[in-house]
């Protein structure tokens, strides 16, 4: 059974496609990685599934989900660190779907909030202003907010950015529990070792589908080579739009093993 199905999906910006004619399905209660070269449309795809970017063509079918029920952690968090709230306030926004934006929290809610912050290594930081913490600490708080959303479909775009190894390991342990709880997780990742460790399925994307299936098969060397060659072709094409590639500039997954 599929949680999300893509039908001849094309996504892009200013009518310039970044993801082309993508067909396939993300399986329910599975961890699926989305990997590919820089600029391959990985973040764009998550924006489309989250409802933040309308398709140029084709459609996205959410089976049993509404966009408001999706937990989405984008790569660019958009948090204004000058806004006068604490980390606890930021994390508590994870309750908005059930409590409303200004709804009060119950004693149980507050206990869950503290547990979520402790799970990401922020115990004792509840009263810190968001403008006073590091980028890594802010990323942990945003992950804690995802924990509280209690969503059936979770989208994570490079969730381990700026995190230390211990916190990353703790978060991986949490993520691995989600499929057993019936949750579907789609993650953009650049570290293929983490992908092989964590994800049963992988979509290898290079603006089009290169491979999609069990991780070991999708990340076969011949598929990675195809993805790299496709990325070289669009990098050499002056007509290709790079302005909105929105992929991490420091990593090229297709060359991780080559």
The total of structural domains in the chain comes to: 1
Ordered DSSP codes for 54-99: --SEEEEEESS--GGGEEEE-SS----TTS--BHHHHHHGGGHHHH
- 37 lies in some domain: yes
pLDDT at 66: 84
Q: Average pLDDT over the chain, rounded to whole?
A: 86
- Structural domain contains residue 189: yes
The residues, ordered by sequence, that sit 6+ positions from 78 with a Cβ below 8 Å of its Cβ are none
Rounded to 5 degrees, φ, ψ at 72 are -130, 120
249: CATH: 3.40.50.300
Written as six digits, the tokens of 91 are 């994390």
Per DSSP bridges, beta strands 31-35 and 184-188 are parallel
34 found inside a domain: yes
CA distances in angstroms from 207 to 11, 46, 73, 217, 245, listed in the order given: 9, 13, 21, 19, 10
Residue 240 counted as domain residue: yes
Q: Using alpha carbons only, give the angle 185, 188, 193 rounded to the nearest 5 degrees.
A: 95
In a domain, residue 244? The reply is yes
pTM of the entire predicted model: 0.85
> Cα(64)–Cα(139) distance, rounded to whole angstroms?
29
Confidence of residue 49 (pLDDT cuts 50, 70, 90): very high
Helix axes 135-149, 165-177, angle to 10 degrees: 10
Confidence band, pLDDT 50/70/90 cuts, at residue 182: very high
pLDDT at 100: 58
User: Is residue 218 assigned to a domain?
Assistant: yes
Give per-residue pLDDT as tens, 8-45.
999 999 888 899 999 999 999 999 999 999 999 999 99
pLDDT band at 69 (very low <50, low <70, confident <90, very high): confident
Report pLDDT digits (tens) over 160-177.
877 788 878 888 988 999
Report CA 169 to chain centroid distance, whole Å: 17
Domain assignment of residue 215, given as a range: 1-65+184-258
- Residue tagged 């950015």 (tokens): 161
Residue 203 counted as domain residue: yes
> d(Cα 188, Cα 170) in Å, to the nearest integer?
18
Rounded Cα gap, residues 95 and 189, in angstroms: 26
pLDDT at 254 over 50: no
> Does residue 51 sit within a domain?
yes
Pair of tokens at residue 205: 């994307």
């Amino acid at each position: 059974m599929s949680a999300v199905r893509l039908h001849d999906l094309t996504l892009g910006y200013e009518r310039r496609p970044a993801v082309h004619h993508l067909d396939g399905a993300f399986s329910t209660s599975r961890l699926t990685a989305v990997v590919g070269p820089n600029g391959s449309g990985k973040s764009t795809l998550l924006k489309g599934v989250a409802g933040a970017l309308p398709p140029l063509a084709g459609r996205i079918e959410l089976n049993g989900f509404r966009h408001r029920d999706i937990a989405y952690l984008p790569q660019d968090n958009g948090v204004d660190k000058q806004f006068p709230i604490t980390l606890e306030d930021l994390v508590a926004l994870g309750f908005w779907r059930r409590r409303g934006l200004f709804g009060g929290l119950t004693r149980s809610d507050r206990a869950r909030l503290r547990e979520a912050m402790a799970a990401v290594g922020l115990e004792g930081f509840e009263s810190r202003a968001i403008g006073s913490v590091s980028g890594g600490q802010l990323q942990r708080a945003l992950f804690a907010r995802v924990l509280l959303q209690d969503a059936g479909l979770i989208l994570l775009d490079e969730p381990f950015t700026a995190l230390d190894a211990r916190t990353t390991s703790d978060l991986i342990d949490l993520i691995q529990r989600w499929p057993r709880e019936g949750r579907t997780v789609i993650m953009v990742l650049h570290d293929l070792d983490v992908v092989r460790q964590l994800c049963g399925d992988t979509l290898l994307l290079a603006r089009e589908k290169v491979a999609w299936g069990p991780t070991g098969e999708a990340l076969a060397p011949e598929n990675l080579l195809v993805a790299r060659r496709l990325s070289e072709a669009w990098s050499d094409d002056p007509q290709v739009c790079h302005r909105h590639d929105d992929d991490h500039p420091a990593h090229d997954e297709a060359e991780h093993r080559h």
